[in-house]
Structure 1
Amino acid sequence: SSIGHIGWMMSLAAVYKPSSCIMYFVVYCILITPLFMTMGYLNMFSTKHMTKLSSYSSTVHMALLMVLLSLGGLPPFTGFVPKLMTIMLLMDSMKIILLALIAGSIMNLFFYLNIVISSMPLPPHLKNVDSTDIKCSLKFVIPICTLSLGLSPFIM
């Protein structure tokens, strides 16, 4: 994730003034510092520990999940703003690099969403559900969602 954010910052620094790179870095530091401090305070040193996040207070749980989603660049969270700014600035000059940055961000967001979903407490009636049932239903849902992405410009 940090390497991905460094890629966004370096692409900004290569094309535009370093001030835009510094702004991206400041937003990144504002997001990552409380996350690391809270994880250190709660003795969470790996993603395995994040799965037990729901055992802490709901305020801490939701705050950490929101920071993770913001780090992934999910709109409307704060972490999306510097990425949107970078996309708008690089749209004319570095389309191939921008495509690689967006693809990397989608992979990072997938990683963060896995952490978020695995840390959510399950209702009692779903605790004994076999994971193969979920995987079978995802085989149908994912292609439909992917195909519907092409329709999104026509919805507006």
Structure 2
Amino acid sequence: MTMTLLFWILLISAIMSISTSSFFSLWICLEINMMVFIPMMNSKNMMASNSMLYYFISQSLASTIFIFSIMLNLTFPMMFPLNLLLLSSSILIKLGAAPFHIWFPEVMEGLKMEMVLILMTIQKIIPLYILSFMNNFIMILSAIFSAMIGGFGGWSQNSIRKILAFSSITHIAWLISLIISSNNWWYLYLSIYSLIVISLLFFFSKNKMSLINQISISTSPFLQILFILTILSLGGLPPFVGFFLKILSIKLILYSTPMLLLFLIPSSLLNLFFYIRLMYPFLMKMLSKNYIFLNLKKISIIGPLHLTLLLTLIPML
């Protein structure tokens, strides 16, 4: 009951934030969002406690810089470039974008899959909305760094949570690039990305997987196929919705800051490498056995996975 109440407060604070343009109101929503999420992270293990502490310190630092930059701007308006730099940096810290990303994978590692989902989706809404009011050089640098670190950071990881964290950093680079393009396309990008992530995390949570070597080939064949299709969509391969999302994003970014595509596209290709690592056990099993005939009567699937499959077909209709 308590978790449900906290979740609704979290969601309402995120929705309220996109209905205001006052930086003070946005700051209030940010703080409510942070203070509600921290008790939701609580769990009966040491890693969760460490994640809570790490999250609190990083978010408190970002909030301090945020309110300090606003006060500094009110007191010394002639220092606007510096104030904007501080303001942007504080939001990038909250977002977990590079080069302020250090806390993000570490916090993700200690969370339950449900909290990982919230951190990768709902917790991005307010920072991205605030960034949509800005357009400065540090955002371009952050998009470049996020693309590079997100692409290379997941290569040597065995933890599923850390792989998802670096994947998320890459998608943050795409979202920031769309914001720089002075376009509201990032709303749709985040929405579809969230649906894909829901499907993936449902699979990992249902099968209690935390490491790559725990990916079970005993999972039902239909779930395995859905998992592979979802991963391919997240990787942006045709004919899935992730591919059409990337193509339209590339088109928009090409008109404003084409230089960013030199980092975004290779980064997405690098991400495919560790996505394939996640699929590898299932792919090997499918190559070794006949998976054409599936006993669908014994299979139970939850809505998000159905929804992801339907979304993959929308651009083809």
Q: Which runs of 5+ in 2 are unaligned?
A: 1-166, 290-317
Query: What is aligned with 2:251?
Result: 88
> Residue type matched to 1:48 in 2?
N
* 1:20-31 matched pairs, under 5 angstroms: 20-31=185-196
Structure 2 residue aligned with 1:143:
none
Identity %: 33
Query: In the comparison of the two structures, how many residue pairs are matched?
Result: 121
Within 1, Cα distance between the matches of 2:255 and 2:225? 38
RCO higher in structure (CA 8 A, sep ≥6): 1
1:66 aligns to 2:232 (yes or no): no
In structure 1, distance between residues paired with 2:277 and 2:201: 18
1:92 CA displacement: 2.8
Distance, in Å, in 2 between the alignment partners of 1:117 and 1:37 is: 19
Selected match of 2:208 from 31, 34, 43: 43
Instruction: Give the counterpart letter for 2:186 in structure 1.
Output: C
RMSD between superposed Cα atoms in Å = 1.5
Secondary structure of 1:36 counterpart: helix
Secondary structure (helix, strand or coil) at the match of 1:55 reads coil
Amino acid of the residue matched to residue 172 of structure 2?
Answer: I
Q: Which residue of 2 aligns with 1:8?
A: 174
Query: Secondary structure at 1:79's aligned position in 2?
Result: helix
**With structure 1 as the length reference, what TM-score do the two structures score?**
0.72
Note the residue ranges of structure 1 that are not aligned, 5 or more in a row. Answer: 125-156
How far does the alpha carbon of each residue in 1:93-144 deviate from its partner, in whole angstroms, 9 at most, with x for none?
Answer: 32221120001000001211232233321528xxxxxxxxxxxxxxxxxxxx
1:9-63 deviations in whole A, cap 9, x for unaligned?
110011122x21111000000100121022101101222222x2x3111110000
Look at both structures and tell me which one has the larger radius of gyration over its CA atoms: 2
Query: Does the CA-based 8 Å contact 1:72-1:112 persist in structure 2?
Result: yes
Query: Which residue does 2:220 correspond to in 1?
Result: 57
